[in-house]
Amino acid sequence: MANSETPRPAWRNDAYAKVTGKAKYADDIKVLNCLHAVPVYSDYVSARIISIETADAQKQPGVVRVLTHKDVPGNLQYGQIIRDYAIFAHDKIRTSGDVIAVIVAESRQQAMDAIPFVKLVAQELPAVLDAEEALMEGAPLVHESHGSNLANYHCVRTGDVEAGEREAEVILEQEFTTSRIEHAYLEPESALCVLRQDGVMEVCGSMQHPFSTRRFVASTLGKSLADVEVKTVPMGGGFGGKDDTAAIVCARTALAAQLTGRPVRMTYTREWSMRESYKRHPYKISYRMGLKKDGKITFVKVRIVADGGAYCSVTPWVTWRSTVQCCGPYIVPHVHCDVYGVYTNNIYCGAMRGFGSPQVNFAIEQLIEMAAEKLGMDEIELRRRNMVRQGSVTITGQKLDDHTVSLEQVLDTVLKESGYTEKKQRCSHGKPGDEEWYGIGLALSYRGMSLGAEGTDFNSAIINIQPDGSILLETGVHENGQGSESAMILLCAEHLGVSKDRIRYRQPSTSNIPDGGTTVASRGTIMGGGAVVNAARQLKEHMARILAPDLQCSPEDIIFEDETLCKKDKTRILSFSEAISLMYARQEYPYSFGVFQAPRVSWDEHTGQGKAYFTWVYGCQAVELKVNPHTGKITLLNMYAAHDVGKAVNPALLKGQFYGGMAMGAGYGMLEKCDVSDGRVVPTNLHQYKILRATDLPEMTAIIVENPDPASPSGAKGIGEPTNELMAPAIANAVFHATGIRCPDQPVKVSNNGK
Amino acid sequence: MMTLINGKRLEINSDETDLNLLDFLRERLDLTGAKNGCGIGVCGACTILVEDEPKRACLMKVQDIIGQKVLTIEGMASPDGSLHPLQQAFVDAGAIQCGFCTPGMVLTAHALLLKNPQPTRGQIREALKGNLCRCTGYQQIVDAVITASKHYI
């Protein structure tokens, strides 16, 4: 049911530290005797390296060491899927963000002053800067050893598109493009590495994936995973962008610490971050869609080409989600989908909040409205005729029958809250003579939860209750700023029946808890929360078994609530603290290790069929805006979102995810574009790469819809990404209703389309 | 040469006047609440108040604060650690996510409320437009400033 609960104060465990400036981010931590490292780039986009000369740099004041590929004791090449990323460039320069050396000096300024003294001798090679050209015969190969520029390919083959073509009474063809965008986390990359006396390399960094970082560091140093400990510190934003690059910065810093025997810090400038860090993939998407006159979609044929840039990173996984979700939340009997992830010499692309869905949603949610227009049908009605409902089968053959399929519910919620139907009548449609054009638009999506068939998907939690009744909690989930630690604490408190004030979230370390995977894919609450709930269950069972004689009842009759353990009929009560004392007195640890394993999923790479995700989330967002007919300027007036989150754990922070996701999606829709010219990232800093400011954004309405998910132990699903995959197509649709101009290229620009 | 930082007098040495103010605050004084997000005065993460005016520490030299009263985020809470009502409002409104922009946001909002204790939401947005936030969409930050404003009247 839709939930409009009365606001209660937000709570997060790190709020005090963050609002007082006491929170220590990676670059805020001071260590004695610390050296400073900086990266050195080349002037090339594509070149054969002949030599890298560091002798002059080595002689500069304060310089302690200059590192190049020759200094790497472990694997020079690393990567999450394909090991194509050279931690230091050695044979070729493949993109302008490649690092040829790292200078380590007594001060940061000294290190920076030495940068011009590193000399690269290289022979320029032809670069390939367009993904389609990269796929052509004879194109220069970015990685010769890979054999082609095709990093990965996915497909969906459902039904028989030829039959769908024959059934169709109306056919649309449309090409869409989306641009490369930058995560623009406020904190640039930073790492601090200390070689401990026990030989363990200790790493703190602005990175969102401690376990992934550990793999990069261990691989580079040639150490075992047990000999690298990555500790979590507050991180100034990630949005999927603090994985590979952030981990590589940690790996280079750790190498410097290993080789100098001193602590080393490397903090990136915004310019280095913009140049080197991966972006969201630009897509070229070509659709052919057929419908019956009654609005039923008969087939979809789609070809997607993603420019992955010089390195693979997670391109196969990003493009896989695009593959599974290529038809939006609609039932399509015949689908033929081909998706190509391609190497070029551009800046590489990887994970970003949304992970392959913002691109296809931008396209399909416009295409569905273009189809409605062609059929002379209401765009909402056309969606209703095709949308997935309870028991529907997705384009990959997955039956949606094991959770509440709430797509129509979220749609109806947004229609009502926004007054869409009435406001739609007032849209300007580019009426000549008007001084201002008004439009409202919306978009719908479903989204597979967590990793799906991308990879192994499990997480763990440790609840360790101390003799005084205070509780240490830890999970394999990372605090990215979204409030995951707070959500874990609240779930733990709820399921143990105790106050959250008892619970301290232990500073996570990769040496304390098993690898829970990365905190991506909106999987923190569902996976980490699931592990917390399971740990709490086990702990309660253990305590009930030990303490049943004290409560003079069977273990099953003991209830944990309001800081007590009590017999069902309340005739016997133990305070929680008493219960813990009794546990210790009986030589029983009130400790548990809980695991949540994602239910089974499946995928056939040859047919693109399978149960891609174990559950799905449903969302709808709408926007009202106005367009200046003379300048094309778009002004946002109101934004609305309804998402089925399963269960709201921490409503105020949950709404924060809605607002932040809508805002970032709006930036994608109308503003953001990270241009690359001749292979070089054009914007160097935030004055050129603009994100939306407080004055650019309107008031927003966030509506939480709750249908607890049976597959999630807590009932909760994920929300980080669903909120960020809809506003761009909603804006494109609203702009169309305002102006009568379709904008198949993201970001939407009215003046560029002409009329 | 003296300055007043968070109510405490500080002697500035002659070899310090030419230092970048943000580096000086962060490295010499360990006032790391001011952050370096861009280094060119665009993001607002390094905001401090000089004589109650929001300033970009990353664009200033130490000499710019000689004889001036400076407030950094570390000076907002009471000496006993209890939060300023504006800070409390940020906490209660859910206005904090990654927290990197938070010190600058709080100080910029504080400067606004000192001048205009009854701002509209539009005026708040106008005042905060030089402070970038990538997490929150600003909605709950504006909520927080509205809530806190009654403490400034």
Reported as a single tens digit per residue, the pLDDT across B44-54 is 999 999 999 99
Residue A304 Cα distances to A97, A177, A279, A681, angstroms: 26, 10, 18, 23
Is A9 within a domain? no
Give the domain CATH number at A238.
3.90.1170.50
Task: Give Cβ neighbours of residue B82 (< 8 Å, ≥ 6 apart).
Answer: none
Strands A92-93 and A47-53: antiparallel
Q: Residue A694: which of B32, B87, B128 has the nearest Cβ? A: B128
Average pLDDT for B105-124: 98
Residues of chain A with pLDDT > 90, as a percent, come to 93
The per-residue pLDDT for range A68-122, each reduced to its tens digit, is: 999 999 999 999 999 999 999 999 999 999 999 999 999 999 999 999 999 999 9
Residues A400 and A481 in one domain: no
Are both A119 and A199 inside the same structural domain? yes
Q: Does residue A6 surpass a pLDDT of 60?
A: no
Segment A158-183 mean pLDDT: 98
Say yes or no: A407 and A492 in one domain: no
Size of interface A-B (CB pairs under 8 A): 182
pLDDT at A424: 98
Within A568-650, where are the H helices? Answer: 576-585
- Count the Cβ atoms, other than its own, within 10 Å of residue A572: 15
Cβ distance B83 to A19 less than 8 Å, yes or no, reads yes
Nearest to A258 by CA among A201, A212, A198, A215: A201
Of A597, A627, A660, the residue at which a domain comes to its end is: A597
The residue segments making up the domain with residue A480 are 458-597
Q: Which pLDDT value is given to residue A319? A: 98
Q: Is B142 on the interface with A (CB under 8 A)?
A: yes
| Domain assignment of residue A176, yes or no | no
Contact partners, residue A453, CB within 8 Å, separation at least 6:
A320, A601, A602, A603, A610, A611, A612, A613
Query: Is residue A325 located within the same domain as residue A252?
Result: no
A163 inside domain: no
pLDDT digits (tens, 9 = 90+) for A39-60: 999 999 999 999 999 999 999 9
As given in the structure block, the two tokens for residue A49 are 């390296």
Contact B140 A14 (CB under 8 A): no
Cα four-point dihedral sign A622, A628, A631, A635: negative
Query: Which of B35, B87, B135 lies at the smallest CB-CB distance from A19?
Result: B87
Which residues of chain B neighbour A30 with C-beta distances below 8 Å? Answer: 30
Residue A469 covered by a domain = yes
Q: Are residues A697 and A615 in the same domain?
A: yes
A51's CB contacts (< 8 A; 6+ apart) are A120, A121
Q: What is the pLDDT of residue A612?
A: 95
B4 Cβ under 8 Å from any chain A Cβ = no
pLDDT cut 70: percent of chain A above it: 98
CB distance A346 to A309 below 8 Å = yes
Chain B residues within an 8 Å CB radius of A186: 35, 37, 43, 45, 98, 100-101, 132-134
pLDDT digits (tens, 9 = 90+) for B18-31: 999 999 999 999 99
pLDDT tens column, A557-579: 999 999 999 998 888 899 999 99
DSSP at A685: S
Instruction: Mark whether A406 and A493 lie in a shared domain.
Output: no
pLDDT of A7 reads: 60
Of A19, A187, A237, Cβ closest to residue B96? A19
**A140: pLDDT strictly greater than 60:** yes
- The tokens for A242 are 């603090």
Q: Are B132 and A186 in contact (CB under 8 A)?
A: yes
Average pLDDT for A589-604: 94
pLDDT of A523 strictly over 90: no
Question: Predicted confidence band at A519 (pLDDT cuts at 50, 70, 90)?
Answer: confident
Q: Within a domain: residue A144?
A: no
Instruction: Tell me which chain B residues have a C-beta less than 8 angstroms from the C-beta of A693.
Output: 128-130, 132
- CA A110-A111-A113 angle, to 5 degrees, is 65
Residues A252 and A363 in one domain: no
> What residues in B contact A662, CB-CB < 8 Å?
137
| Interchain CB contact of B16 with A (< 8 Å) | no
pTM over 0.90: yes
Residues A749, A669, single domain; the answer is yes
pLDDT at B4 over 50: yes
Rounded distance between C-alpha atoms, residue A509 and residue A231, angstroms: 5
Return the C-alpha torsion angle B111, A234, A673, A81, nearest 10. 180
Instruction: Band the pLDDT of A671: cuts 50, 70, 90.
Output: very high
B144 touches chain A (CB under 8 A): no
Nearest to A532 by CA among A632, A461, A457, A598: A461
Is residue A742 located within the same domain as residue A618?
yes
Q: What is the pLDDT of residue A753?
A: 43
The residue length of chain B stands at 153
DSSP three-state, residue A551 = helix
Of A243, A267, A291, the residue at which a domain comes to its end is A267
On the 0-12 / 13-18 / 19+ scale of CB atoms within 10 A, A745 is middle
Q: Is B135 at the interface with chain A, CB within 8 A?
A: yes
B39 and A685 within 8 Å at the Cβ level: the answer is yes
Residue the block writes with tokens 């109308």: A670
Average of per-residue pLDDT across A361-380: 98
CB neighbour list of residue B23: distance below 8 Å, 6 or more residues apart:
none
For an interface test with B, the pick among A14, A16, A20, A478 (most B C-beta atoms closer than 10 Å) comes out as A20
Tell me how far apart the alpha carbons of residues A16 and A27 are, in angstroms, rounded to a whole number: 19
Domains with residue ranges and CATH for chain B: 2-75 (3.10.20.30), 85-152 (1.10.150.120)
Q: List B residues 41-80 in contact with A (Cβ-Cβ < 8 A).
A: 42-43, 45, 72-74, 76-77
- Write down the pLDDT at residue A751: 79
Are residues A613 and A550 located together in one domain of the fold? no
Residue of A nearest to B86 (CA): A19
Q: How many domains does chain A have?
A: 3
Check: complex ipTM more than 0.90: yes
Are A214 and A293 in a shared domain? no
Question: Which CATH number does the domain housing residue A541 bear?
Answer: 3.30.365.10
Indicate whether A340 pLDDT > 60: yes
d(C-alpha B102, C-alpha B35), whole Å: 10
Give residue A754's pLDDT band: very low, low, confident or very high (50, 70, 90): very low
Minimal CA separation from A361 to chain B, in Å: 21
Mean pLDDT of chain B: 98
